[in-house]
């Protein structure tokens, strides 16, 4: 006989059923970064430092854009909970318009980022490698964001398996494309770091195309007419998506900037520090994909229960997601503490004397990463639960204060100004993430009742749309 109450056991099963494929997709996604790092490692520490810098810059902007576009998720999940299929289709169609506009803006930024890298005082070799990588991977931003919008739609319907399968296809394609373009096979020229970027662009395009085809042609997605009814932007829905998504993107950007600025500060300490940072960060990022996927599942579960006006269910869904995320990170912390050298050995040859300094420093950084893993898992799950409530603005403010003010401030004063070095920079990450976890969990428990009460207040004639749309504005998307 189970010691868990029936409702909690049911929620646990539902969350795991949804989170399993979502987590697998996240692991496949980060595996592409892992593959890039491992394969670039064959080119030497300077190339590894270059891809560390370029990868960090690209995914800072890509993650921020994805955060905005993933506002499709809570829109769709709450519409599913409210049994409003018209709102489901319109949300994802307008999400695609949003992805296209943001993609063009980010493409322009990435095309002009080299002077900023030079201004930050990075080593010339790292800047050269990062510029070559960014010159190719920037063209992948549009399909990357298009895939994010379609993925949010599919997962919002609690059908995440197709995304998982496509993500694993992407991993296989990435290995082959890297081998062909980085090292030059079958008569192709060896493009080095630029080849890594072109490989990623090809993979993002293939993944977006496959998911678009599936959404257009198969049930239950095809009945929402995502592509057959896209005509022009609907200002009403776009405003709602931006109202929810802009703070989500800003929060993602603030969190990513915590690591990006730490990477930039690490680069001022030398290529050894930057290469070790990249190895340790890749290990931490790989583990982070599990609580991130659980948090995404939590967004859907909280959104569906809030849309159905079930306060107890929403509170339970958020609590289960946060508990599962934290439990997993306890396991990875133990792994980082006990087996750091074998983990570093996945990226670098442990027997090569030329790698000795990088390996020793990476092992030290993994010891710190073991601590921040615990707080990172809890805070991302809490953030996901709040997004399911469409509560994004105050969490954005919490992210700014904790990541920038506390995390970066501590890392800079201790690691750079105080001479504490790379380890001190990482302890700054720990302090910032711990503060974020405490505040976001407290915020969720305060907001559940209010969010459900606001859904109860929606008049019956307005329940078919997540926003108050005028009759004149409604047909624009049709």
**Secondary structure of residue 187 in the 3-state scheme:** coil
Q: Contact 348/359 with Cβ under 8 angstroms?
A: yes
- Residue with the bigger pLDDT between 454 and 118: it is 118
| pLDDT of 313 above 70 | yes
| pLDDT of 469 above 60 | no
| pLDDT of 20 above 50 | yes
| Torsion sign (Cα): 430, 431, 436, 437 | positive
Residue 468 lies in a domain: no
User: Which residues touch 1 (CB under 8 Å, ≥6 apart)?
Assistant: none
User: Which residues touch 80 (CB under 8 Å, ≥6 apart)?
Assistant: 88, 156, 157, 158, 303, 304, 307
C-alpha atoms less than 13 angstroms from C-alpha of 86 in its C-beta half-sphere:
10
Residue 216 lies in a domain: yes
**Secondary structure of residue 44 in the 3-state scheme:** coil
Most confident of 51-60, 127-136, 273-282, 288-297: 288-297
Number of domains in the chain: 1
Q: What is the pLDDT of residue 106?
A: 92
| pLDDT of 382 above 90 | yes
Give me the phi and psi of 135, to 5 degrees please.
Answer: -60, -25
Q: What is the pLDDT of residue 455?
A: 58
| Torsion sign (Cα): 16, 21, 25, 30 | positive
| pLDDT of 205 above 90 | yes
| 392-419 as b/e: b if 16+ CB within 10 A | beebbebbebbbbebbbebbbebbbeee
- For the ranges 12-16, 162-166, 227-231, 250-254, which has the lowest average pLDDT? 227-231
| pLDDT of 295 above 60 | yes
Nearest to 284 by CA among 251, 333, 330: 333
From CA 284, how far away is CA 288, in angstroms rounded? 6
From CA 280, how far away is CA 291, in angstroms rounded? 18
Query: For 159-173, what is the mean pLDDT?
Result: 86
Query: For 279-293, what is the mean pLDDT?
Result: 83
pLDDT bracket for residue 230 (50, 70, 90): low
pLDDT bracket for residue 189 (50, 70, 90): low
What DSSP state is assigned to residue 4? S
Q: Contact 249/64 with Cβ under 8 angstroms?
A: yes
| pLDDT of 25 above 50 | yes
Nearest to 414 by CA among 368, 363, 367, 356: 368
User: Which residues touch 436 (CB under 8 Å, ≥6 apart)?
Assistant: 375, 379, 398, 399, 402, 403
Residue 343 lies in a domain: yes
Q: Where are the beta strands (DSSP E) in 136-286?
A: none
Q: What is the pLDDT of residue 46?
A: 65
pLDDT bracket for residue 81 (50, 70, 90): confident
Residue 291 lies in a domain: yes
- Angular region, 309: left φ>0, alpha ψ -120 to 50, beta rest: left
Q: What is the pLDDT of residue 440?
A: 94
From CA 45, how far away is CA 54, in angstroms rounded? 14
pLDDT bracket for residue 2 (50, 70, 90): low
Q: What is the mean pLDDT of the chain?
A: 79
Residue 428 lies in a domain: yes
Residue 388 lies in a domain: yes
From CA 60, how far away is CA 97, in angstroms rounded? 21
| pLDDT of 141 above 60 | yes
- Angular region, 83: left φ>0, alpha ψ -120 to 50, beta rest: left
127's tokens: 């800047």
Residue 347 lies in a domain: yes
- Helix locations, 308-355, DSSP H: 311-338, 340-344
Residue 47 lies in a domain: yes
With 0-12 / 13-18 / 19 or more C-beta atoms within 10 angstroms meaning exposed / middle / buried, residue 124 is exposed
Residue 180 sits in which domain range?
6-462
- For the ranges 40-49, 170-179, 273-282, 321-330, which has the lowest average pLDDT? 40-49
- Residue with the bigger pLDDT between 226 and 289: it is 289
Tell if the pTM clears 0.75, that is, is over it.
no
| pLDDT of 384 above 80 | yes
Q: What is the pLDDT of residue 145?
A: 94
| pLDDT of 473 above 70 | no
Q: What is the pLDDT of residue 462?
A: 38
């Amino acid at each position: 006989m189970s010691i868990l109450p029936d409702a909690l056991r049911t929620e646990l099963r539902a969350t795991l059923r949804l989170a399993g494929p979502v987590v697998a997709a996240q692991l496949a996604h980060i595996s592409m970064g892992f593959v890039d790092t491992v394969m670039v490692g064959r080119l030497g520490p300077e190339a590894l430092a270059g891809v560390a810098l370029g990868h960090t810059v690209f995914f800072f902007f890509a993650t921020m854009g994805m955060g905005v576009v993933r506002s499709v998720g809570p829109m769709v999940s709450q519409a599913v909970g409210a049994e409003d299929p018209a709102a489901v289709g319109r949300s994802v169609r307008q999400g695609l318009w949003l992805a296209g506009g943001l993609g063009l803006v980010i493409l322009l930024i990435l095309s002009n980022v080299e002077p900023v890298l030079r201004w930050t005082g990075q080593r010339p070799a790292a800047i050269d490698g990062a510029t070559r990588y960014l010159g190719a991977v920037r063209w992948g931003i549009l399909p990357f964001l298009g895939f994010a919008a379609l993925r949010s739609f599919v997962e919002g319907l609690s059908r995440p398996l197709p995304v998982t399968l496509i993500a694993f296809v992407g991993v296989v394609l990435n290995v082959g494309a890297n081998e062909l373009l980085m090292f030059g096979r079958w008569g192709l020229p060896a493009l080095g770091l630029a080849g890594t970027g072109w490989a990623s662009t090809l993979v993002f395009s293939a993944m977006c195309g496959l998911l678009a085809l599936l959404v257009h042609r198969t049930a239950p997605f095809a009945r929402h007419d995502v592509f057959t009814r896209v005509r022009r932007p609907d200002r009403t829905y776009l405003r709602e998506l931006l109202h929810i998504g802009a703070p989500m993107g800003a929060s993602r950007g603030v969190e990513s900037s915590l690591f990006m600025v730490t990477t930039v500060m690490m680069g001022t300490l030398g290529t050894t520090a930057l290469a070790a940072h990249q190895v340790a960060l890749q290990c931490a990022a790989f583990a982070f994909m599990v609580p991130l996927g659980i948090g995404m599942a939590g967004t859907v579960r909280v959104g569906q229960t809030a849309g159905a006006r079930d306060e107890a269910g929403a509170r339970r869904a958020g609590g289960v997601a946060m508990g599962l995320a934290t439990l997993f990170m306890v396991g990875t912390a133990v792994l980082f503490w006990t087996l750091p050298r074998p983990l570093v050995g996945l990226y670098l040859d442990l027997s090569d004397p030329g790698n000795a300094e990088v390996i020793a420093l990476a092992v030290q950084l993994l010891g710190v990463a073991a601590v921040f893993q615990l707080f990172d898992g809890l805070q991302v799950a809490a953030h996901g639960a709040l997004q399911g409530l469409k509560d994004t603005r105050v969490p954005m403010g919490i992210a700014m204060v904790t990541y920038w003010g506390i995390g970066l401030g501590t890392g800079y004063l201790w690691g750079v100004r105080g001479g504490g070095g790379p380890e001190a920079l990482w302890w700054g990450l720990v302090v910032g993430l711990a503060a974020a976890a405490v505040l976001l969990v407290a915020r969720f428990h305060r907001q559940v009742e209010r969010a459900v009460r606001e859904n109860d207040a929606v008049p019956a004639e307005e329940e078919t749309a997540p926003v108050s749309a005028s009759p004149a504005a409604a047909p624009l998307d049709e």
